[in-house]
Amino acid sequence: MQNYHPVTPQIIESLIKLLGRENVISGTEKLCDYSHDEYAQDDICHYPDLVVRPADARQISLIMKLATEHKIPVTPRGGGTGLCGGCVPTLGGIVLSLERLKKIIEIDKENLMVTAEAGVTLAELYKAVEAEGLYFPPHPGDEGAMVGGVIATNAGGARAVKYGVIRNFIRGMEVVLPDGEIIEIGGKLIKSSTGYSLLHLIIGSEGTLGIVTKATISLVPPPAAIYTLIAPFANLNDAIGAVPKILTGKVIPMAVEFIDREAMRVTEQFLDKRWPSDFGQAHLMIILDGSSEDEALALAQKVAGICLENGSGEIIFADAVDKQRTILELRSKSLDSLRKNMLEILDITIPRARIADFVRTTEQLAVEMETWLPTYGHAADGNVHTHIMKARWKNGVWTEIPGWREKYPVLMKKIHALGKSFGGVISGEHGIGITKKPYMEDFLGKRQIALMKSIKNVFDPQSILNPGKIFSEPD
């Protein structure tokens, strides 16, 4: 265990001098905003001693030099939209918010790349990029997430099937290392085999190896046409069974989501909007893009045919933008509609062909343990979001699940063990943060954890940068 030092009044004075008084926050009330992320339970909240809001990499470098000198923990923070406590300052010290690094530095239409600072939100990024006639395919659910944060977690989202996750789009980075040195990795480059990929090592490292302050990100030409299909199936087995048929049917959709029709009723009530089909228990939401209207339509018809052959009920075609938006909104807000009565959203990722088996087994577990485990996720990615609940929804009414407190740790253990037995990993897109730490060794084994800890030690020998995340600290 590291012995960290306190944030002294002298250090606060130095930071005020560096950043201006308005960018050094120490009042208890304001600190609350920086004490948590979107994880559902309050008990992981932890107040920092101080929040700093630097303007650029140079200021961040000076903060890290100060933190290194005085051995103070620093927790970087983006949009705070994480789901496992990755930006919570567990050990106190300084929260370093990237919220002021908001510049979109360049949209390079010749190279099809955007260079943006870490504090740019996804919503801002989509808007700026689309205004220039380009397209950024990944769509992690919450558009309030920031560039730095989606890199830190290697975020995914629904649109990862055809185009891939955040990792596939990051080409260059400016990174402030724990000791304050600023390095530039990669650039406007599509390929590189120039030594170990520090780029890919830092992507997904949850802000524990360095602070990403700027990124150069690949874009693609926008699809000429996008269709959304809803294919309703009698049960999940049939729905998931259709997915490999779609993929081997020479179609790679942008997204294939599976939806629990029952859980969707919660979201319908929450948003007061209607999901377009009532048939069956499990639906596939399939997004298809094409290089022309004709191609998108042909793909949609092909996919519809495959779904019908595999037992789908009447398929809903959404081509109008507003209809597609309503469907996407209902899917995106599913988490919000469950959150208030939720303990945790899991993020286990297994081989995609095994989703139906996995979900069926968790459903049996729910019956056995008299609980409710509403589940949706990314069918073509194998990324299953099982929700552990403290209340059950039925016909518009929430009822507390008896013994949910005692059932919670048992369910966490059992469902993760199940994920492991299916050849899965703990997280497909949310990261490990604080809440998934207990399962790391079981999934990865002692040696992989030891390698990761030693890599952490290479970058951050004092363990001051986002300590207490991913795995327990070096002894």
Site residues (CB under 8 A) for a copy of itself, limited to 190-209: 190-198, 200-201, 203-205, 209
Phi, psi of 217 (to 5 degrees): -125, 130
| Span interacting with a copy of itself, options 24-32, 44-52, 387-395, 436-444, rule CB under 8 A | 436-444
Q: Does 257 bind a copy of itself (CB under 8 A)?
A: no
Find the binder of a copy of itself among 220, 226, 234, 271 (CB under 8 A): 220
How many of the chain's residues bind a copy of itself (CB under 8 A)? 97
Minimum distance between the CB of residue 23 and a copy of itself, rounded to whole angstroms? 28
The nearer residue to a copy of itself, 92 or 244, going by C-beta atoms, is: 244
Minimum distance between the CB of residue 377 and a copy of itself, rounded to whole angstroms? 11
The nearer residue to a copy of itself, 20 or 351, going by C-beta atoms, is: 351
Find the binder of a copy of itself among 45, 234, 298, 365 (CB under 8 A): 298
Find the binder of a copy of itself among 42, 250, 322, 405 (CB under 8 A): 250
Find the binder of a copy of itself among 262, 294, 314, 370 (CB under 8 A): 294
- Kindly state the tokens that stand for 118: 């870490």
Q: Give, as ranges, the residues between 95 and 134 that touch a copy of itself (CB under 8 A).
A: 108-113, 133-134
Minimum distance between the CB of residue 285 and a copy of itself, rounded to whole angstroms? 17
Q: Does 12 bind a copy of itself (CB under 8 A)?
A: no
Q: Give, as ranges, the residues between 346 and 405 that touch a copy of itself (CB under 8 A).
A: 347, 349-353, 378, 380-383
Q: Give, as ranges, the residues between 308 and 337 that touch a copy of itself (CB under 8 A).
A: none
Q: Give, as ranges, the residues between 133 and 162 that touch a copy of itself (CB under 8 A).
A: 133-134, 153-156, 160-161
Find the binder of a copy of itself among 6, 20, 221, 409 (CB under 8 A): 221
User: Phi/psi class of residue 24: alpha, beta or left (left: φ > 0; alpha: ψ in -120 to 50)?
Assistant: beta
The nearer residue to a copy of itself, 291 or 364, going by C-beta atoms, is: 291
The nearer residue to a copy of itself, 191 or 405, going by C-beta atoms, is: 191
Q: Give, as ranges, the residues between 264 and 293 that touch a copy of itself (CB under 8 A).
A: 290-292
| Span interacting with a copy of itself, options 41-49, 52-60, 187-195, 262-270, rule CB under 8 A | 187-195
Q: Does 187 bind a copy of itself (CB under 8 A)?
A: yes
Q: Are 417 and 361 in contact (CB under 8 A)?
A: no
Return the number of other C-beta atoms located less than 10 Å from residue 104's C-beta.
Answer: 17
| Span interacting with a copy of itself, options 42-50, 250-258, 271-279, 315-323, rule CB under 8 A | 250-258
- How far is it, in rounded angstroms, from Cα 68 to Cα 64? 6
Half-sphere exposure of 50 (CA within 13 A, CB side): 26
Minimum distance between the CB of residue 202 and a copy of itself, rounded to whole angstroms? 9
| Span interacting with a copy of itself, options 42-50, 57-65, 265-273, 445-453, rule CB under 8 A | 445-453
Q: Give, as ranges, the residues between 35 and 94 that touch a copy of itself (CB under 8 A).
A: none
